[in-house]
Amino acid sequence: MNRVIVAAVVALSATIGGIAQTPFPTRFSAALAERAEVQEALAYIDRNFDRHVAEWIRITEIPSPSGQEAQRAAYVGGELEKLGLVPQVDGIGNLVARRPGTGGGPTLVYAAHLDTVFPLGTDLTVRRQPDGTLHAPGVFDNTASVTNMLQAARALHAAGIRTRGDVIFIGTAQEEIGLKGMYYWLERNKGVADMLIALDAALGPVNYGALGIYWSRMTFTAAGAHTNNSRGRPNPARAAAQCITGIYTVPLPAPDAPVPAIYNVGGLMTAGDVVNAIPAEVTFSVDLRTVDPQLLASLDAAILEKCESAARAHQVDFEREWIQRSEAGGRPEDLADRRRHPLVQTAVDVLRHLGVTLPPGREAIATGSTDSNAGVVQGIPSIAVGRSRGGDQHTLQEWSDIESAQIGAKQIVLLTAALAELAD
């Protein structure tokens, strides 16, 4: 009896295991990882990890606010040049270097953004703690990826790895202010990328979708007036207040809905300069996000309507200005084909091979807010993968675990061997 139950349970779990293991096509195999030149490249990363970390600290301390990435680009370009590549900086400030393949394989593009959200003058000194972490603004997002990409390029070179497809390394500019460098490159290189991999996240699930992000600036204006003459005069502050209150009545899907949405109002606000006058102009920002393009459009329209009706009610002028508009990739069911592209499962399998634990059923998720969004919305097979473990990005407390960056770099070697196809 017991034996029968045990046998049944084993059979059942084997079936479930079989289904859960590889429901999607992959280009990764343990045999590929075992090939001598791949092993050599992975060993290079192990052997040179002290230098990897030293360079990580060095790059983190090069200031690189969005639009001012030139110094970082020059450093990365100089290092790639030592590998025989011919890096170039394009018109927006992307650093681009092509590693030619032997021919006949797909072109694989890596994008690691060079910019940070920290203005010039921010103290970028990296502090290394005894618990195996580095602390500094930008150390995690995205300097860890930039360094991993460089180190993986060196490992491929040192091990003499040849691929059939070209590999293009891009240190992108202005990612943090609307993926501008990535859009710029894709616009001028149509049809070049067969697959796009953004290196920009914590190690964890592979992202193959795109979170739509709408950033608006709402501006209410009127003539203004001294307080003594203000009774009954149009007041942009009252209109703005009514609009903000109204926006927060716009219903959202439940937080645990399959496709959630969120907005945040007033991250930036401006108003008058003095106490004793109606302000002539009041502005505030709206940050609206969801992966569902229809929901994004309808929520945006509802928010806009709240502002327009508030402006009418208070007889002030109103204008909406786009700060950033990053389109949504689609709901998970719309992206079913994307999930089946081997790019996604290959990345999942590579992470598993490197010992990264992924949440069951959520190994790959249909969202993302990185350079890969630009590829997703243009129909290019695109994913974002992680760099290391860490947190508090975009704050002065940003930190990263050191050891896990080895996984981040090795992942790039394995993805390259699997997706750009090893030449014989």
Applying CB under 5 A, the residues found at the interface with Zn ion are: 141-142, 200
Smallest separation, CB 397 to Zn ion (Å): 16
User: Given the complex with Zn ion, which of 202 and 366 has the nearer CB atom?
Assistant: 202
Smallest separation, CB 390 to Zn ion (Å): 11
Cis peptide before 142 (omega within 30 of 0): yes
Query: E strands, 132-166, where?
Result: 133-135
User: Given the complex with Zn ion, which of 62 and 316 has the nearer CB atom?
Assistant: 62
User: Given the complex with Zn ion, which of 105 and 212 has the nearer CB atom?
Assistant: 212
Q: Determine the Cα–Cα distance for residues 265 and 284; give it in Å rounded to an integer.
A: 7
Smallest separation, CB 400 to Zn ion (Å): 12
DSSP class of 169 = E
User: Given the complex with Zn ion, which of 122 and 309 has the nearer CB atom?
Assistant: 122
Query: E strands, 123-205, where?
Result: 127-129, 133-135, 167-172, 195-199
Helix residue ranges, H only, 163-278: 180-188, 236-247
CB atoms within 10 A of CB 248: 10
Smallest separation, CB 142 to Zn ion (Å): 4
User: Given the complex with Zn ion, which of 13 and 395 has the nearer CB atom?
Assistant: 395
At residue 63's C-alpha, the angle toward residues 59 and 64, to 5°, is 95
Smallest separation, CB 140 to Zn ion (Å): 9
What is the full DSSP assignment across 340-405? Answer: HSHHHHHHHHHHHHTT----TT-SEES---STHHHHHHTT--EEEE--BSEE-TTSTT-EEESTTH
Residues whose CB is less than 8 angstroms from the CB of residue 72 and which lie 6 or more positions away in sequence, other chains included = 59, 62, 64, 95, 114, 146, 171
Smallest separation, CB 369 to Zn ion (Å): 8
Contact 269, 283 (CB under 8 A): yes
Smallest separation, CB 281 to Zn ion (Å): 33
User: Given the complex with Zn ion, which of 242 and 388 has the nearer CB atom?
Assistant: 388
User: Given the complex with Zn ion, which of 349 and 401 has the nearer CB atom?
Assistant: 401
